[in-house]
Amino acid sequence: MLVLYDIEACPYCRLVREVLCELDLDAVIYPCPVGGMRFRPDALDISGVSQFPLLLDPNTGDQILESADIIDHLYKHYGNARRHSPRGLRRKLAVTGSMAASAARSVGGVRGLKAVPSYAAKQPLELFSFESSPYSRPVRELLTELEIPYILRNFAKSRWQEMGPPLVRSRWFPDAPITSPNRQRLRELTGRSQVPYLIDPNTGVSMFESVDIMAYLKDVYGRK
C-alpha cells in the first residue's frame, strides 16, 4: 500500500489526495501536523527535509517529494500514463483553489494543521472517505490534529446514480451496480454506501456519522 506523509490542511497534500481519490487508490496516511512529534521525525529521516506531502511507493521503491511529481508518479503507475499534474498557470490555479479550500475551513482557526495533545494509536485506523466529502473532511482534520495514522479507503463516485445523499440514493437507485472496490467492500461490511465510516482495530469499534466519529476520536485519543 502507498504511504503518504500528509497534512490535511496543506494545499499541496490536498492535490495529491484528490488524485488518490480519482484513481481509487488506498494509502496509509501518517499525519504530520505542525508541532507534531509522532511521524514528522520519520519523514525528516526519510527525505532529509521537513516538507509535505511525501509519498513512499513500496511497489516501485520510490520516495517522492513535490506534489506535482507525486501526481505524475500516480498517473504513470496507477492511472492513465498520458495524464500529468498541471504545470505553469494551471498549476498555480490548482494550488490557489486548494488554498481557498483550506481558507474556507478556517473560521475560528485553521483545522487539520496543528497538532493537539493525544494518545498514540497502536494500529492504524481505517477510514472510508472521499476527498471532497464535507462530512469526511472534518474527520480527517481531527485525525491529523491527533496524529492518528489511518488507512484511507478512497470511495470516489464513479456513476451519476452515486450522487446525492445516501438515503435518497438507496431509495431511488437501490439496484445501481457498484463499480468501486471500496464501495463494494463497505456494502458487504455494513449494507450501506455512506462516508465517513471509521474502523478502529484497537478497540473493535466501527461507526458511521461524522459527529459521532469525532466525539469518539476525542474521547479515546484526545489528551485532556
Ligand X SMILES: N[C@@H](CCC(=O)N[C@@H](CS)C(=O)NCC(=O)O)C(=O)O
For ligand X, the closer CB: 47 or 202: 47
CB of 47 to ligand X, least distance (A): 10
Residue 198 to residues 23, 37, 65, 202, 204: CA-CA distances in angstroms?
21, 24, 29, 12, 11
Binding-site member from 37, 50, 119, 163 for ligand X (CB under 6 A): 50
CA 32 to chain centre: 13
**What is the CA angle 42-44-48, rounded to 5?**
135
Binding-site member from 5, 12, 75, 221 for ligand X (CB under 6 A): 12
Binding-site member from 66, 126, 170, 185 for ligand X (CB under 6 A): 66
Q: Is residue 7 close enough to count as binding ligand X by CB under 6 A?
A: yes
Positive or negative: CA dihedral 6, 7, 12, 14: positive
Binding-site member from 5, 30, 39, 52 for ligand X (CB under 6 A): 52
Strand order in the sheet with 125-129: 62-65, 54-57, 2-6, 27-31, 150-154, 125-129, 197-200, 205-208
Map residues 112-151 to x or -, x wherever contact with ligand X holds by CB under 6 A. Answer: ----------------------------------------
Binding-site member from 2, 10, 29, 214 for ligand X (CB under 6 A): 10
CB of 106 to ligand X, least distance (A): 14
Map residues 68-97 to x or -, x wherever contact with ligand X holds by CB under 6 A. Answer: x-----------------------------
Q: Give the three-state DSSP class for 55.
A: strand
CB of 83 to ligand X, least distance (A): 17
Q: In whole angstroms, give the CA distance from residue 214 to residue 190.
A: 20
Binding-site member from 30, 36, 67, 75 for ligand X (CB under 6 A): 67
**What is the CA angle 102-31-205, rounded to 5?**
105
What is the amino acid identity at position 60? Answer: T
